[in-house]
A = this chain, B = another copy of it.
Amino acid sequence: MKVKEVADLVGISVRTLHHYDEIGLLRPETTEAGYRMYSERDLETLQQILFFKELGFSLKEIQKILEDPAFDRKEALELQRKMLVEKRSHVDHMITTIDKTIKQMLGEIEMTNKEKFEGMNFDHNPYEEEARRRWGDEKVDESNNKIKGMSKEDKKKLSEEWDGIYTRLAKLRHGSPDSAEAQEAIHEWYEFLNHFGQYSYEAFRGLGQMYVDDERFTKNIDNYGEGLAIFMRDAMAVYAD
């Protein structure tokens, strides 16, 4: 398929396809005349690109993800689905804010200024974090905008807090994931994470699962104590219920 056909099929511009080729994001084969010829495989890649793009990833980030050796299309689709579900609930949240605002205008309710802007800030989708961890930067503190702006001292404090929570959980790992102590520590972990993103309980549960599914995380977490990743997954699941 040539550019116009793809552009019309997909609903993007020829210029966009050129641009993606130029930056190496989606490089089709070319004919002898220099025409771009897109394959079925290219269309699949394009679908991935457009899903990630819709979810707010920059083209650079998308490229990084697609080039990661660990990238798996089915996994990506499943993650993208989760992100879209989250996005949908975010839209719901905005609708709720509008409903409340209208009621406030009619004098039916009171509303704080803070409430008027709820749902407005979607700069951190928890599954975006997951995508970055899975296929991008492993170090959360390097990929998080809020952390980037922090002073060294604040970063140190943050690191210690993180460390403290993990250490505490490591001590509790031989016990039951639904014990009061464990749940208290997990609560703190949830609060900690919510400084940087808006985690729904579902997303929190999913993150715990990822600690176990993804070897890189299991390995890092289990540095605090053998089996901690599994323990955290279970405790997080209890917490999310």
Instruction: Using CB atoms, name the residue of chain B closest to A117.
Output: B10
- Assess whether A140 is interfacial by the CB under 8 Å rule: no
User: Is there an interface contact between B51 and A77, defined as CB atoms closer than 8 Å?
Assistant: no
User: Is there an interface contact between B84 and A94, defined as CB atoms closer than 8 Å?
Assistant: yes
1/0 per position for A92-114, CB-CB distance to B under 8 A?
A: 10110011011001000000011
Copies in the complex: 2
- Assess whether A120 is interfacial by the CB under 8 Å rule: yes
User: Is there an interface contact between B43 and A9, defined as CB atoms closer than 8 Å?
Assistant: no
Measured CB to CB, the closest approach of chain B to A11, in angstroms, equals: 3
- Assess whether A148 is interfacial by the CB under 8 Å rule: no
Measured CB to CB, the closest approach of chain B to A238, in angstroms, equals: 28
A50 to B8, CA, bound (A): 31
User: Is there an interface contact between A95 and B85, defined as CB atoms closer than 8 Å?
Assistant: yes
User: Is there an interface contact between A113 and B77, defined as CB atoms closer than 8 Å?
Assistant: no
User: DSSP majority for the A interface?
Assistant: helix
User: Is there an interface contact between A102 and B117, defined as CB atoms closer than 8 Å?
Assistant: no
1/0 per position for A78-90, CB-CB distance to B under 8 A?
A: 1011001101100
- Assess whether A31 is interfacial by the CB under 8 Å rule: no
User: Is there an interface contact between A50 and B10, defined as CB atoms closer than 8 Å?
Assistant: no
User: Is there an interface contact between A117 and B50, defined as CB atoms closer than 8 Å?
Assistant: yes
User: Is there an interface contact between A9 and B117, defined as CB atoms closer than 8 Å?
Assistant: yes
1/0 per position for A35-53, CB-CB distance to B under 8 A?
A: 0000010011001001100
B12, B88, B101, B113: the one contacting A92 at CB < 8 Å is: B88
Residues of A within 8 A of B (CB): 9-12, 40, 43-44, 47, 50-51, 54, 73-74, 77-78, 80-81, 84-85, 87-88, 91-92, 94-95, 98-99, 101-102, 105, 113-114, 116-117, 120-121, 123
